[in-house]
Every structure is written in structure tokens, then in C-alpha cells.
Amino acid sequence: MSQKPYQINVVKPYLPPHAEYAAEVASIWDNRWVTNQGPKAQALEAKLGELFGLDHVLFHTNGTVVLQIALRVLGVTGEVITTPYSYVATTSSLLWENCRPVFVDIEGSTCGIDPSLIEAAITPQTQAIMATHVYGIPNDVHAIEAIAKKHNLKVIYDAAHAFGVKHEGKSLLEWGDLSTLSFHATKVFHTCEGGALICHDAETARQIALTRSFGHVGDENHYCLGINGKNSEFHAAMGLCNLRHLPEIIAGRKRVYDQYEQTIGQHPLVQRPVLLPETEYNYAYYPIFLPDEATVKRVQGGLNALGIGTRRYFYPSLNELPYLPADVAVQCPVSERLSRTVLSFPLYPDLTETEVSAIITETLTLLG
């Protein structure tokens, strides 16, 4: 069997030193507190709150259940204006909660929902806007807030990609009624599996904590309908370790991102999303947009043959999901074009300079 010249995966989870994780979990053998909001989960929530400058960060099992809980806690059951350009969980959580997704097309530059198209999609049944800060790039949060206030709508931001992103000098998570994070293994910060729900007042935080824990915590009273969204001490321990390494993780990502930006990003066939100067970025992804789908397939196939992984992240445009109810499907030309022409490159801190140079050289050769 012929060996491919490279073995470069598109994603590779960061892992802290083994001894550090072993030391972090050692106390679990003493206290046998394995799950149900133990001391490590509490410590992680406190440290994340400190990092973001926010009071209410609630640790959960993943970045999907938090979207579902967000809809439940806000009492959203009707139409939700949402983006077609995201990971499938943004749409599937709406369908799972029996809400009706109303897709509004995106802006080509930021890949976020296009605020100028939102008002035309609002009906008397509209209850909320659920938008994704795709690739960690902020939505037009001012415009969305103004529309939501005018029409009395709730705003949920799927901020799965936006860990640590600052906008206009403060955490991007300050915007919206609720924001959600994913701590999946491939994210900038991870707990293997995990997520968080961010809210802005103590009563909503209490409601979320109850909903995350079957609707009852610590006594025999059952306060509301709940689900199991709690995460374990072992996951929290991974988070506590990874948080200590966050500066080096982000610096490592930036190094790779900058190398791509100075080379692939300057190629005449390549377009890139636009990051505004008021954004302090987390270097979560490096997507490029190519002129057409045939070029994407040629470049991806060529890199794959050499052992270099890339991903069509995000494809398909979610308004084209095969299982959508027929009356939900609408056309979103910008999202459809971007999803057909996008290619995301490997981006993680332990990619070596030699590997990055190889990815760049092979990509530029394929682009011609």
C-alpha cells in the first residue's frame, strides 16, 4: 500500500500534559464526587465567568442541549428567525423543540445573518432570533438587538465558535438574551464533550440550572420540566487544565492562521470572511471561499490524495437539509453559494511550521 506524503488531519484536539490531568482528577478518588455539579464543575464555571467578565456561565454536557434548553427556558415554541449558514445543530435543535425555523439569508462578508432581511420575515408567530457567530465572527449585534427590541423578540446566539472572542472591548457573550458555547474536543477550548449556557440574571440562571438537572436540585421538590444536561467532574477537570493553557493554544492557532493569511489568503482566486477591527479574534477556523464548487472539489481531492485533510465547513446550507418540512424550505442564495464554495483548513496549535508550509505549498500549486 502506497503511503501518502503527509498525515495531517483537519482537526486535532489539544490535550494538556498527561501528568497535569492526572493531578487534576486525583481528588475525585478521595471525594467520589463524580458528577451532579461537583466542585470541579463549579470551579470551571467560576473561572469561565472571570474570563468572560460575566456572572452566569452554566456548564453543560454539550453545545446542542444548551440550544434546546435555551429555547425551553425562554418559552419559545413558535417561529424562530435563524441562519442557514451554521452547523446542523443550530437548525436541528429548533426542529427537535418543535419550533419552526424561518431561514433568513446571510451577509457574504461576515457569514452572519443579514439584518436587512430580518424584518420582512417576521410574522405574528415569530418569537425569537437564533443566530450563529460563525467561525467566531460576530453578527451585527447592534442591528439584531434593535430589531428584537422593536418586535419584542428574544435573541439566542449560538456562540459555539466564539469562545474568548471580544467585540468592542467586551465579551461577545454579553449580547442577546442567551448565548451558547460548545466545548467539543475540536473547539478552541474544550472539555472533550461539553458546552455552556450564558445568561444575564440570577433568576434565569436558576431556571437553567433546574432545567439542566431534571427540574429538581438537592431536594424532593420538582419545580419544572427538565432534562439531563449536567456534565461530569472528569470533563470539568479537562476544562480546568485546558484553561491554564489557553494563551498558548490561541497563540499557536494565530501562528498558523497568520501563515495562511499571508499566502493562501492573498491568492487571487481566494475570498475570505471579513473580521472587523473592533473584534478580538480567537482564531477558531480558517475558511476560504473559492470561485465554484468544482474548484473546491479539485483542491480538496488533491490535498486529500496527499494526506492533507480539509473540510467543507459548512455544507450544505441548512435551508437545503433533506428532512426539513416542505413549507420551511426557502432559497438563501448567499448561504447556498458560500456553502458550495467553502473549504476550511487544518488549524490547531501543534501543527508544525513545516506542516503548515507543506499545506500552503500544495494548496498554491493546486490553485495554480
Ligand X SMILES: Cc1ncc(COP(=O)(O)O)c(C=O)c1O
Residue whose CB is less far from ligand X, 90 or 310: 90
Q: How far is the CB of 275 from ligand X (least distance, A)?
A: 17
Residue whose CB is less far from ligand X, 171 or 231: 231
Residue of this chain nearest to ligand X (CB atom): 63
Q: How far is the CB of 180 from ligand X (least distance, A)?
A: 7
Locate the DSSP E strands across 112-239: 126-132, 154-158, 166-167, 170-171, 178-182, 195-199
H/E stretch holding 88 reads: helix 88-96
Q: Tell me the site size for ligand X, rule CB under 6 A.
A: 14
Q: What is the residue whose three cell numbers read 475570498?
A: 271
71 touches ligand X by CB under 6 A: no
Is residue 119 within 8 Å of 147, Cβ to Cβ? Answer: yes
Q: How far is the CB of 65 from ligand X (least distance, A)?
A: 7
Amino acid in position 3: Q
89 touches ligand X by CB under 6 A: yes
Angle of the 18-31 helix axis to the 233-244 helix axis, nearest 10: 140
User: Who's near 118: CB < 8 A, 6+ residues apart?
Assistant: 81, 104, 129, 144, 147
Residue whose CB is less far from ligand X, 11 or 25: 11
Residue whose CB is less far from ligand X, 157 or 289: 157
What is the C-alpha to C-alpha distance for residues 126 and 128, in angstroms, rounded to an integer?
Answer: 6
Environment class of 181 (CB within 10 Å of its CB; exposed 0-12, middle 13-18, buried 19+): buried
63 touches ligand X by CB under 6 A: yes
Per CB under 6 A, which of residues 11..30 are in contact with ligand X? Answer: none
86 touches ligand X by CB under 6 A: yes
Is residue 81 within 8 Å of 102, Cβ to Cβ? Answer: yes
Q: In angstroms, how far is the first alpha carbon of the chain from the final one? A: 29
What is the C-alpha to C-alpha distance for residues 201 and 362, in angstroms, rounded to an integer?
Answer: 51
147 touches ligand X by CB under 6 A: no
With contacts defined by CB under 6 A, name the span among 9-17, 82-90, 144-152, 328-336 that binds ligand X: 82-90
User: Who's near 46: CB < 8 A, 6+ residues apart?
Assistant: none
Which residue among 84, 136, 176, 195 contacts ligand X (CB under 6 A)? 195
What is the pattern of x (binds ligand X, CB under 6 A) and - over residues 153-172? -----x-xx-----------
Which residue among 40, 184, 235, 253 contacts ligand X (CB under 6 A)? 184
What is the pattern of x (binds ligand X, CB under 6 A) and - over residues 106-145? --------------------------x-------------
SS3 195: strand
Residue whose CB is less far from ligand X, 163 or 356: 163
Q: How far is the CB of 67 from ligand X (least distance, A)?
A: 6
87 touches ligand X by CB under 6 A: yes
68 touches ligand X by CB under 6 A: no
**Is residue 277 reached through a cis peptide bond, with omega within 30 degrees of 0 on the bond before it?**
no
242 touches ligand X by CB under 6 A: no
Q: How far is the CB of 133 from ligand X (least distance, A)?
A: 8
How many other C-beta atoms lie within 10 A of the C-beta of residue 113?
Answer: 28
| Contacts with ligand X, residue ranges (CB under 6 A) | 62-64, 86-87, 89-90, 132, 158, 160-161, 182, 184, 195
